[in-house]
Amino acid sequence: MDRARNIYNSGLDRRPANFTPLSPIGFLARAARAFPDHTAVIAGERRFTYRQFRERCHRLASALALRGIGRGDTVAVLAPNVPAMLEAHFAVPMAGAVINTINTRLDAANIGFILDHGEAKAFLVDAELAPVAAEALKVARAKPLVVRIDDPAVSPSDFGDIEYEALLAEGDPSFTPVPVADEWDAIALNYTSGTTGDPKGVVFSHRATYLNALSNLPSFRIAPNPVYLWTLPMFHCNGWCFTWSITAAAGTHVCLRRLDPATVFDLIERHGVNHACGAPVVLNLLLHAAEITKTRPSRTVDFVVGGAPPPAALLEKMERLNFRITHGYGLTETLGPSSVCDWHSEWNEKPVIERAALMARQGVPTYGIEDLTVVDPVTMAPVPADGQTLGEIVVRGSTIMSGYLKNAPTTGAAFAQGWFHTGDLAVMHPDGYVEIRDRAKDIIISGGENISSLEVEGVLYRHPAVLEAAVVARPDARWGEHPCAFIALKPGESADAATIIAWCRTNLAHFKVPRTVVFGPLPKTATGKVQKHLLRERARAL
Amino acid sequence: MDRARNIYNSGLDRRPANFTPLSPIGFLARAARAFPDHTAVIAGERRFTYRQFRERCHRLASALALRGIGRGDTVAVLAPNVPAMLEAHFAVPMAGAVINTINTRLDAANIGFILDHGEAKAFLVDAELAPVAAEALKVARAKPLVVRIDDPAVSPSDFGDIEYEALLAEGDPSFTPVPVADEWDAIALNYTSGTTGDPKGVVFSHRATYLNALSNLPSFRIAPNPVYLWTLPMFHCNGWCFTWSITAAAGTHVCLRRLDPATVFDLIERHGVNHACGAPVVLNLLLHAAEITKTRPSRTVDFVVGGAPPPAALLEKMERLNFRITHGYGLTETLGPSSVCDWHSEWNEKPVIERAALMARQGVPTYGIEDLTVVDPVTMAPVPADGQTLGEIVVRGSTIMSGYLKNAPTTGAAFAQGWFHTGDLAVMHPDGYVEIRDRAKDIIISGGENISSLEVEGVLYRHPAVLEAAVVARPDARWGEHPCAFIALKPGESADAATIIAWCRTNLAHFKVPRTVVFGPLPKTATGKVQKHLLRERARAL
């Protein structure tokens, strides 16, 4: 086409009035304007309206700016789901800076590495985490401004340069946020542990977070003014962007310092919670507690499960507990949700087992994703939509990370051939829905046959005595590898290896049946993911 | 800030995997993948699933491309809310071209002007509108490919170069859409009569339409798989973007050739319609019919009202008719909705009259708008939020038009000082909600359609007996407003109202014809300008 002849190519340029950088910061301005007196935050006895929430964010942004923190600076936060953590999601970018939330279960060495690698200029630390933060600061070269976040639930200390509320008092409640210069500018830095070597710093743009936050609303059926319980750590991909999504919808953020099932059920009833998110382990925890205490929420809670493939048996039980589950899938690099198992109303007619199996699939792209599909990792050709042929999930869209900080080679590899490579092995079903069969590294190859650890775990989860199960490859002289099952039993239940193996033989092809069964608690990451690399080491050492 | 020192400034560039141009075209791909067998379109006895809808769009795009229509070319459509009109919203941009929907009530001269100004390369015409289209093509210099859209409801004709279904048959159902080169590229051209002279061509980018379509979902509480009835003309800002929004939500588009209340109520019941949009005149029409026939939908219909300020009394009555009203506000230049009267649940406790008064306000920005406020048009300072001080509504955000086609001066004026100037006079309430107090001075809004008083005056001035003419809005129970003409005759000449009205009917689209004609001298300022505000008072008092 001759560009010069195109009548749309002149006089129709981007201008300040029609091209505003996309940024989730504006969601707070909108909510505070439309719903100033609506409860924005509940944390124990503390409550903030949207007017107060905005003012506190303005104060923090202003105080950071007064201390010289601005564009391109990193502000690290080590805190559970407390108001300051939420406020930082708006205040830090309002100062032009980049928010770096840190996994609260990391050790001092890892935290120190992150402070140095991200070059943190400020470090907000919940008082409860002061000891590990102090250790981290000893090993780190970075010398950030250290801000202690006190909390009524934590005994006072004198850690840090200043207490959070004192810092807020320095700031201006009518501060004007630093304008976003370019929507591609960084807003968030999230370290992912990966499985090898040092953590990688995943960088997100204002554009990506805006689009993912907005996309979450229709993708997860969030109506205006939701009441959202923070069962998912905010340090996890910025709470899958729900920090910004729930604010966009002028919702109520119900904070949660730690995941105690009794507290969760109490908060659901007390505040009329209707939305929450978390990994399958969260559901497991709630389910187990509910079975003991015979608790059942009196209203339906919309729960987005993700972070690991949920066993169908678990989904089935949560439905009876009045949780309406939506299954999302994503990685830190996709800012949380990049696919959703969109529900078909006609599936409601199916038996609960079938419904749960349909729901356990990772599904189709969210509204914010351009494409998510399954390809042959070598040829990049789409696998046939037969529900059988294994390939790698690849993703493309404007909600994907900008890249890994200071790590061009790994960034380049992750984005090879125009797609983000997830490393998850999956099949494409005939109906266009993706289903993960395994992480590339978790697949078990026995006698030349691929065995999905997830499939075996799904069978184990259906056994009445099993609380949690994880299956990994164990070296096998004859078969190369064989499935090795690690099982945590429900309190008060008992089962031995023979029982478990017999159960599996009834429900699985024989070559998929674990030949080794180990009982005991499973090692987990901060986000509740089972640490299979540790189990693999154990299996090798058996 | 020293950009070189910013660690986020290197190695984190836009790439094909993480920066995909925003475009609403992708919504169809997503819906057709997740819900291929769900009903996408209902038109009388015809039904298309999402798989069929996508195939038909691919066929049309492919057929247009085969005939040489591509990037930067304009494809005009003159049709009521029929499937072809909806399909063109996806197929035309899939071919890289720009869709230009034309107001079906315009006369041949205006349509001809639009075909020429937009340089239409193809012109899709519903068979019912063939006569006016044929006239328009006679006066136009443009020689587009003319495609006749036949319909079971319309008697066949041989107008045009090819029938729509025959054109589809030329196309490839597995056509790959032309990639969007830049999200700023034009996708739509919508002519607005404005207040002066010739219609202005309002251009929208892929980015703006994507964002407005996505923003509509949370702004107007659209849950997955809505059933949407097309009571709003699609030619109106692309149906306020609902063409794309409802497709994004994998909804069912229930087409509607003309706004017949009995048909509307029948379709609501038959197909379980739960969403619709329209101007207050649509509600008026439905209400009037419902009162006579004692009809009331058995399920709640979410109805977005906009295009003109809805009278509180009307809102109150619609509520009793089981319509849940949401009030949106916008202009052609804002692609439809740019504000929404976000509802506060505590308002439900108020008496119905108060509720209706609250709802009649234009409200707060939609999710897609950066800011919408009321300013002094001279100083650009925000007016006090006192619910009293009059100012102009100005808007800023990424869903605003790119500009007016081939009209740099008017574009520059509309975007002066970093805002889009709506020309609507309003107050800011203490709670942050905007309410229009007066229309932009000259425009008349009748049945949701803009009528330029200058255009009507131009016709009146051409009548041999007319010395001076001024046209203002007169309140009209059915249409909201209608044009009221004040005429000073030339000395010695005579004419009566019937003569003037007949003259106008020959020279204007019928909806623009004055329904009231008053003879006598016109009040003027010292400099000779007609004082329209005095005429408006007189028209109200008639």
Tell me, what's the ipTM? 0.89
Cβ-proximal residues to B506 (8 Å cutoff; 6+ apart), any chain: none
Contacts of B19 in chain A (CB under 8 A): 184, 398
Mutation pick from B2, B18, B114 vs chain A, by most beta carbons of A within 10 Å, is: B18
B12 inside 8 A of chain A by CB: yes
Report angle CA A365, B226, A398 to the nearest 5 degrees.
Answer: 25
Q: Are residues A406 and B7, on separate chains, in Cβ contact within 8 Å?
A: yes
Contact A86, A41 (CB under 8 A): yes
Mean pLDDT, rounded, for A265-275: 97
- The per-residue pLDDT for range A424-480, each reduced to its tens digit, is 999 999 999 999 987 777 888 887 777 888 889 988 988 999 999 999 999 888 888
Contacts of A371 in chain B (CB under 8 A): 29
Contacts of B430 in chain A (CB under 8 A): none
Contact A306, A329 (CB under 8 A): yes
Measured distance CA(B89)–CA(B80) in Å, rounded: 13
Q: Are residues A36 and B431, on separate chains, in Cβ contact within 8 Å?
A: yes
Using DSSP bridges, classify how beta strands A120-126 and A145-149 pair: parallel, antiparallel or unpaired: parallel
**Nearest by CB to B218, which of A217, A371, A397?**
A217
Between residues B380 and A476, the one the model is more confident about: B380
Our measurement of the distance from residue B103's CA atom to the centroid of its chain's CA atoms, rounded to an integer in Å, reads 9
In sequence order, the β-bridge partners of residue B373 are B394
Report DSSP state, residue B260.
-
Judged against a pLDDT cut of 80, whether residue B265 lies above it is answered with yes
- The per-residue pLDDT for range A210-223, each reduced to its tens digit, is 999 999 999 999 99
Comparing A301-310, A491-500, B434-443, the range with the smallest average pLDDT is: B434-443
Q: Which two tokens stand for residue B218?
A: 């949370």
Q: Which two tokens stand for residue A281?
A: 């382990």
Contact B180, B21 (CB under 8 A): yes
Contact B422, B466 (CB under 8 A): no
The reported pLDDT for the residue numbered A442 is: 82
Measured distance CA(A469)–CA(A454) in Å, rounded: 10
Residues, chain B: 542
In single-letter form, the type of residue at position B182 comes to D
Judged against a pLDDT cut of 60, whether residue B88 lies above it is answered with yes
The reported pLDDT for the residue numbered B211 is: 97
Judged against a pLDDT cut of 60, whether residue A1 lies above it is answered with no
Mutation pick from B2, B3, B10, B12 vs chain A, by most beta carbons of A within 10 Å, is: B12
In single-letter form, the type of residue at position B37 comes to D
Q: Are residues B431 and A12, on separate chains, in Cβ contact within 8 Å?
A: no
Comparing A322-331, A356-365, A420-429, A437-446, the range with the smallest average pLDDT is: A437-446
Mean pLDDT, rounded, for A287-297: 91
Q: Which two tokens stand for residue B342?
A: 């976000």
Judged against a pLDDT cut of 60, whether residue B207 lies above it is answered with yes
Q: Are residues B217 and A217, on separate chains, in Cβ contact within 8 Å?
A: yes
Q: Are residues B398 and A19, on separate chains, in Cβ contact within 8 Å?
A: yes
Cβ-proximal residues to A357 (8 Å cutoff; 6+ apart), any chain: A312
Contact A507, A463 (CB under 8 A): no
- The per-residue pLDDT for range B325-338, each reduced to its tens digit, is 999 999 999 998 99
**Residue in the structure block whose two tokens are 């710093």:** A201
Distances (CA, A) of A363 to A161, A255, A437, B222, B226: 47, 30, 13, 21, 20
Q: Closest Cα of chain A to B452: distance in Å?
A: 24
Q: Are residues A203 and B12, on separate chains, in Cβ contact within 8 Å?
A: yes
- The per-residue pLDDT for range A476-528, each reduced to its tens digit, is 888 888 999 999 999 889 999 999 999 999 888 888 899 999 999 999 876 56
Judged against a pLDDT cut of 60, whether residue A355 lies above it is answered with yes
Judged against a pLDDT cut of 50, whether residue A286 lies above it is answered with yes
Chain B residue with CA closest to A419: the answer is B17
Contact A491, A465 (CB under 8 A): no
Q: Within the 113-152 window of chain B, which residues sit less than 8 Å (CB to CB) from chain A?
A: 118-119
Contacts of B72 in chain A (CB under 8 A): 1, 3, 5-9
Chain A residue with CA closest to B215: the answer is A214
What average pLDDT is seen over chain A? Answer: 93
Judged against a pLDDT cut of 90, whether residue A324 lies above it is answered with yes
Contacts of A418 in chain B (CB under 8 A): 15-17
Contact A397, B20 (CB under 8 A): yes
B186 inside 8 A of chain A by CB: yes
Q: Quickly count: other Cβ atoms within 10 Å of residue A262's Cβ.
A: 10
Mean pLDDT, rounded, for B354-377: 92
Between residues A79 and A153, the one the model is more confident about: A79
The reported pLDDT for the residue numbered A377 is: 85
Residue % of chain B over a pLDDT of 90: 74
Q: Closest Cα of chain A to B269: distance in Å?
A: 19
Judged against a pLDDT cut of 70, whether residue B526 lies above it is answered with no
Q: Within the 407-436 window of chain A, which residues sit less than 8 Å (CB to CB) from chain B?
A: 407-408, 411, 415, 418-420, 431-433
B251 inside 8 A of chain A by CB: no
Nearest to A514 by CA among A493, A529, A495, A490: A495
Q: Are residues A17 and B344, on separate chains, in Cβ contact within 8 Å?
A: no
Q: Closest Cα of chain B to A15: distance in Å?
A: 7
The reported pLDDT for the residue numbered B1 is: 43
The reported pLDDT for the residue numbered B197 is: 61
B14 inside 8 A of chain A by CB: yes
Q: Are residues A248 and B98, on separate chains, in Cβ contact within 8 Å?
A: no
Contact A256, A266 (CB under 8 A): no
Contacts of A406 in chain B (CB under 8 A): 7, 11
The reported pLDDT for the residue numbered A2 is: 47
Measured distance CA(B450)–CA(B472) in Å, rounded: 12
Chain B residue with CA closest to A19: the answer is B398
Comparing A306-320, A352-366, B121-135, B487-501, the range with the smallest average pLDDT is: A306-320
Mean pLDDT, rounded, for A143-164: 94
Mean pLDDT, rounded, for B14-31: 96
Nearest to B444 by CA among B366, B516, B338, B530: B516
Using DSSP bridges, classify how beta strands B480-489 and B466-476 pair: parallel, antiparallel or unpaired: antiparallel
Q: Closest Cα of chain B to A355: distance in Å?
A: 16
Measured distance CA(B210)–CA(B213) in Å, rounded: 5
Measured distance CA(B508)–CA(B466) in Å, rounded: 17
For chain A, first and last CA: distance in Å?
67
The reported pLDDT for the residue numbered B198 is: 76
Q: Quickly count: other Cβ atoms within 10 Å of residue A94's Cβ.
A: 27
Measured distance CA(B284)–CA(B289) in Å, rounded: 9
Judged against a pLDDT cut of 70, whether residue A224 lies above it is answered with yes
Nearest to A470 by CA among A424, A527, A426, A535: A535
Nearest to A131 by CA among A107, A153, A100, A151: A107
Nearest to A427 by CA among A478, A382, A472: A382
Judged against a pLDDT cut of 50, whether residue A74 lies above it is answered with yes
Measured distance CA(A401)–CA(A208) in Å, rounded: 7
Mean pLDDT, rounded, for B229-234: 97
**Nearest by CB to A432, which of B12, B36, B408?**
B36
Buried b (16+ CB within 10 A) or exposed e, B90-127: bbbbbbbbbbbbbbbbbbbebbbbbbebbbbbbbbbbb
The reported pLDDT for the residue numbered B3 is: 47
Judged against a pLDDT cut of 80, whether residue B439 lies above it is answered with no
Q: Are residues A396 and B17, on separate chains, in Cβ contact within 8 Å?
A: yes
Mean pLDDT, rounded, for B521-533: 72
Measured distance CA(B187)–CA(B204) in Å, rounded: 6
Q: Are residues A224 and B222, on separate chains, in Cβ contact within 8 Å?
A: no
Q: Closest Cα of chain A to B409: distance in Å?
A: 9
A30 inside 8 A of chain B by CB: yes
A17 inside 8 A of chain B by CB: yes
Nearest to A90 by CA among A118, A143, A141, A52: A52
Q: Report CA Rg, chain B.
A: 24
Q: Are residues B342 and A224, on separate chains, in Cβ contact within 8 Å?
A: yes
Backbone dihedral angles phi then psi of residue B177, each to the nearest 5 degrees: -55, 145
Mutation pick from A2, A8, A117, A373 vs chain B, by most beta carbons of B within 10 Å, is: A8
Measured distance CA(A395)–CA(A434) in Å, rounded: 12
Judged against a pLDDT cut of 50, whether residue A333 lies above it is answered with yes
**Residue in the structure block whose two tokens are 């709802």:** B359
Judged against a pLDDT cut of 80, whether residue B183 lies above it is answered with yes
In sequence order, the β-bridge partners of residue A475 are A481
Comparing A194-208, A251-265, A312-326, B358-372, the range with the smallest average pLDDT is: A194-208
Dump the DSSP string for B272-340.
Answer: T--EEEE-HHHHHHHHHHHHHHT---SS-EEEEE-SSPPPHHHHHHHHHTTEEEEEEEEEGGGTEEEEE
Query: What is the edge-to-edge ordering of all strands in the sheet holding B403-404?
Result: B162-163, B145-149, B120-126, B74-78, B98-101, B186-192, B200-205, B403-404
Domains, chain B, with CATH or none: 25-204 (3.40.50.980), 370-438 (2.30.38.10), 444-541 (3.30.300.30)
Nearest to A469 by CA among A340, A313, A363, A267: A313
Backbone dihedral angles phi then psi of residue B148, each to the nearest 5 degrees: -90, 130
Judged against a pLDDT cut of 60, whether residue B4 lies above it is answered with no
Cβ-proximal residues to A351 (8 Å cutoff; 6+ apart), any chain: none
A194 inside 8 A of chain B by CB: no
Q: Are residues B70 and A1, on separate chains, in Cβ contact within 8 Å?
A: yes
A12 inside 8 A of chain B by CB: yes
Chain B residue with CA closest to A410: the answer is B11
In single-letter form, the type of residue at position A472 comes to V
Beta-sheet strands, E only, within A452-527: 466-476, 480-489, 516-519
In single-letter form, the type of residue at position A65 comes to A
Nearest to A46 by CA among A136, A152, A141: A152
Q: Are residues A419 and B17, on separate chains, in Cβ contact within 8 Å?
A: yes
Contact A327, A359 (CB under 8 A): yes
Contacts of B326 in chain A (CB under 8 A): none
Judged against a pLDDT cut of 90, whether residue B7 lies above it is answered with yes
**Residue in the structure block whose two tokens are 């999905």:** A452
**Nearest by CB to A7, which of B119, B223, B400?**
B119
Rounded to the nearest 10 degrees, how much is the dihedral formed by the CA atoms of A91, A93, A96, A98?
120
> Residue A436: which H helix or E strand, with range?
strand A434-439
Between residues A542 and A164, the one the model is more confident about: A164
B70 inside 8 A of chain A by CB: yes
Range A132-135 contact pairs with CB under 8 angstroms and sequence separation of 24 or more: A132/A78, A132/A106, A132/A107, A132/A108, A133/A78, A133/A108, A133/A159, A134/A159, A135/A108, A135/A111
For chain B, first and last CA: distance in Å?
65
Our measurement of the distance from residue B128's CA atom to the centroid of its chain's CA atoms, rounded to an integer in Å, reads 21
Contacts of A397 in chain B (CB under 8 A): 18, 20
Q: Closest Cα of chain B to A294: distance in Å?
A: 32
- How many Cα atoms sit within 13 Å of B271 on the Cβ side? 30
Residue % of chain A over a pLDDT of 90: 77
B491 inside 8 A of chain A by CB: no
Q: Are residues A36 and B250, on separate chains, in Cβ contact within 8 Å?
A: no
